[in-house]
Amino acid sequence: MELEGEQDFDIGLDVSAISRTLLASGFEINDFQRHPDHVVYSCSKPDSLELIVNYLLAFTDSAVVGSSLLDQVRRDAARTGSVGAVIAKGPGEGWLSWGEFTEALGGAIPDWRPLSEEWRRAIRAAGRNDRAFFPSAEPWLAYEVAIADGLTFVFGRRVVHLGGRHRGQRLGDIVGQASDEFVFLVDAKSSASALHFGSEYDRALREYVGRQRARQRGSIPLATVIVVADSFAQADERLLEISRDFLAADGIPITFVTTDDIIALVDRCKAAPALRIRLRWRTLLCRGGRFDTAAFDAEMRAAQRETVGRV
């Protein structure tokens, strides 16, 4: 059972994504049953009092759920003392949509790669342009892929990898959408030494921004450019000046993010995945200059403190 997302940034409903999302969100999967038109998970998770709550969750790729499936889940849930729910492709009365379900859990988990040690080693080596680590691949392309994997997990929705997949075109490397409704553009810079962000990069970014802004016309606006590198040669004060100059000329700030920042984001979100869609990403990524991990940690604590219900 596989579904394509309803829009570019959605993660489709499929069995592997369901299982990863449940496990990463703290559920223990006790049983799994596959039927012709749906799958059923029997799982459990502690509640706010650390008491174990059993769940019976049926997933279907149908847009509309028939009364027979709804009635069957209700009967089985009552018989097993479980909380029952049906999750379908689209919303409706008596069931949840895949989007509503994953939103409650902080977003889907599309891939295990960013949660592995191998991903951490790969993104670090790729960011340093370590050809010994990638004897049969281009480190810059591996860097783009690793960043895309990390950001997909962090935002709980798929990002679109453009750069290395469309060689020769003046495109940013990655484009994605945050949960608080803005689009971001990522430019990844693999380099054996600290990146000195000079005028040649500035000119290229202006082209990328102009093209992506045109693509977003009438849709969710492009709000920031994220430049990712293993490290930056300029001081934080100079990077902030560069961002402000770019904002004055093009109306969009530049946020400078390091490989270690990406890894830290993944680690923090792995510890509390339900918080991912509750963060005010705009305040973190649209301020310009060096990405502030302390501000991110403060935002995570605020989201934990201010959210009503179990996180």
Dihedral over Cα of 281, 181, 231, 262: its sign = positive
Sheet holding 83-88, edge to edge: 28-34, 39-46, 52-59, 83-88, 96-97
Closest CA to 149 of 162, 163, 161, 137: 161
Place of tokens 């009967």: 75
pTM of the model: 0.73
Q: How far is the C-alpha of 33 from the C-alpha of 29, rounded, in Å?
A: 11
How far does CA 294 lie from the centroid of its chain?
A: 20
DSSP-derived secondary structure letter, 277: G
More confident residue, 288 or 141: 288
Does residue 146 contact residue 126 with C-beta atoms inside 8 Å?
yes
Residue 10 pLDDT class (50, 70, 90 cuts): low
pLDDT number for residue 143: 93
Q: How far is the C-alpha of 210 from the C-alpha of 203, rounded, in Å?
A: 11
HSE-CB for 75 with a 13 A CA cutoff: 6
First to last CA, the chain: 29
**Beta-carbon count within 10 A of 4 CB:** 10
Give 306's contacts (C-beta < 8 A, 6+ positions apart). Answer: none
pLDDT number for residue 4: 31
Domains of the chain in sequence order: 15-104 (3.40.1350), 113-306 (3.40.91.30)
Residue 84 pLDDT class (50, 70, 90 cuts): very high
Does residue 280 contact residue 160 with C-beta atoms inside 8 Å?
no
Q: What is the mean pLDDT of residues 91-98?
A: 91
Over the stretch 211-254, which tens digit does the pLDDT of each residue have?
Answer: 999 989 999 999 999 999 999 999 999 999 999 999 999 999 99
Over the stretch 163-217, which tens digit does the pLDDT of each residue have?
Answer: 655 455 566 789 999 989 999 999 999 999 999 999 888 888 999 999 999 989 9
- Token digits of residue 209: 């921004």
Helix/strand/coil for 234: coil
Flag whether pLDDT at 1 surpasses 80: no
pLDDT number for residue 6: 33
Residue 107 pLDDT class (50, 70, 90 cuts): confident
3-state helix, strand, coil in the chain (%, to 5): 40, 20, 35
Q: How far is the C-alpha of 278 from the C-alpha of 263, rounded, in Å?
A: 19
pLDDT number for residue 8: 44
pLDDT number for residue 13: 65
| Residue/partner pairs of 18-22 with CB below 8 Å, 24 or more apart | 18/59, 20/108, 20/109, 20/110, 20/111, 20/112, 21/102, 21/105, 21/108, 21/109, 22/57
pLDDT number for residue 2: 35
